[in-house]
Homo-oligomer: A and B are copies of this chain.
Amino acid sequence: MRRGLEFKKKARIIIVDDNYEHLNGVRELIEIESDFDVVATATSASVAISLIKKYRPDIVLMDINMPEKDGLSAIAEIEKLDLGVRTIALTGYDDPDLIFRAMKIGAKGYILKTMASAQLIYAIDEVAAGKIYLPNTLSSRFFEYFQKSFKEELQSISDEENLLNYLTQREEEVLDLLTQGVTYKGVAQKLFISETTVKTHVNNIFQKLQVNDRTQAVLYALNNGFLNRRKVKIAI
C-alpha cells in the first residue's frame, strides 16, 4: 500500500490512546510501515482536542476505551468542531453497540487492535482518501445491530396489539391534529364539524388507547409509530 511515488500529500495523523505502550506501538508501526506523518500523540481526550485544534490533522486515531473522558464523546466533540478532521475509532472489542455509536456520531472508520497492521494502514489510506472504511467483519456486526434495532421498531408498529389500529379513520384524523397541538376548537374548524363532535371523538380515542388525557394520547401515538405508519406503508 502506498508504495512507489506518491503525488498526494502525506496524511497528517494524531494518535490518541491512554495506554502509553500501545500508543508508541501504533506510532512506530505507522512511521515504519507507511509514509503518513504522525504530527502529535495524546494520552487523554481533552489533551487530544487541544492538539487537534492546534495541528488540524487529516486523521485522528482514537482509542475508545479511555477513562475520564471517553473516546466516543471525544469523537463527537471533534465532529462538532467541523474542522474536516476524520476520526478512526480503535478498540479491543468488536461490540456492535460501540461500533454503531461510533459510526453514528461520525467516526470514519473502526479498527480492532487485534487486527493486522496492514489492515490499519489500509484503513487510514481509505479514510484519508475521503472514504468511510469498516472491515467486513465489523461491517457485518454493524448491520446486524442496525437491523435488529429497526426490526423491533417495525414490529411494535405492525403489532395487532397496537391500539392505534382500532381507531376509525375519523378518529385518526382527530388524533393527527392532536399530535400537532391543536385545540378542540381548532380541530372543529379544520374538520368542519362542531366542537362537541370533536370531544366525542377524543373521548373515544382516549378509551381505545386507554389513556386519560390528550398528552398521553399524543405520547402513545408518537411511541407507537403513528407518524411513521405512513412512511412504512406507503414509502417505506
Contacts and interface: CB of A to CB of B under 8 A. Distances in A.
A232 B76 contact: yes
A236 B154 contact: no
A132 B73 CA distance: 29
A154 B101 CA distance: 13
A181 B211 contact: yes
A147 to B, nearest CB: 6
A236 B73 contact: yes
Contacts of A151: 79, 106
Contacts of A183: 213
Interface in A133-175: 133-134, 139-140, 143-144, 146-147, 150-151, 154, 158
Contact of A103 (B104, B134, B143): B143
A179 interface: yes
B181 A213 contact: yes
Interface of A: 72-73, 76, 79-80, 101, 103-106, 131-134, 139-140, 143-144, 146-147, 150-151, 154, 158, 178-181, 183, 211-216, 218-219, 222, 232, 236
Nearest to A214: B215
A143 B132 contact: yes
Contacts of A147: 103-104, 106, 132
A76 B79 CA distance: 34
Copies of this chain present in the complex amount to 2
A183 to B, nearest CB: 8
16 contacts: A76-B154, A76-B236, A80-B154, A101-B236, A104-B147, A106-B147, A106-B150, A132-B139, A132-B143, A132-B144, A134-B139, A178-B215, A181-B213, A181-B215, A181-B219, A215-B218
Contacts of A211: 181
A184 to B, nearest CB: 12
Given A158-B80, A214-B215, A222-B222, A236 B105 contact: yes
A222 B223 CA distance: 11
Nearest to A180: B219
Contacts of A179: 219
B105 A154 contact: yes
Given A72-B236, A132-B140, 16 more contacts: A73-B236, A101-B236, A104-B147, A131-B140, A132-B147, A133-B140, A134-B139, A139-B139, A178-B215, A179-B219, A180-B219, A181-B216, A181-B219, A218-B218, A218-B219, A222-B222
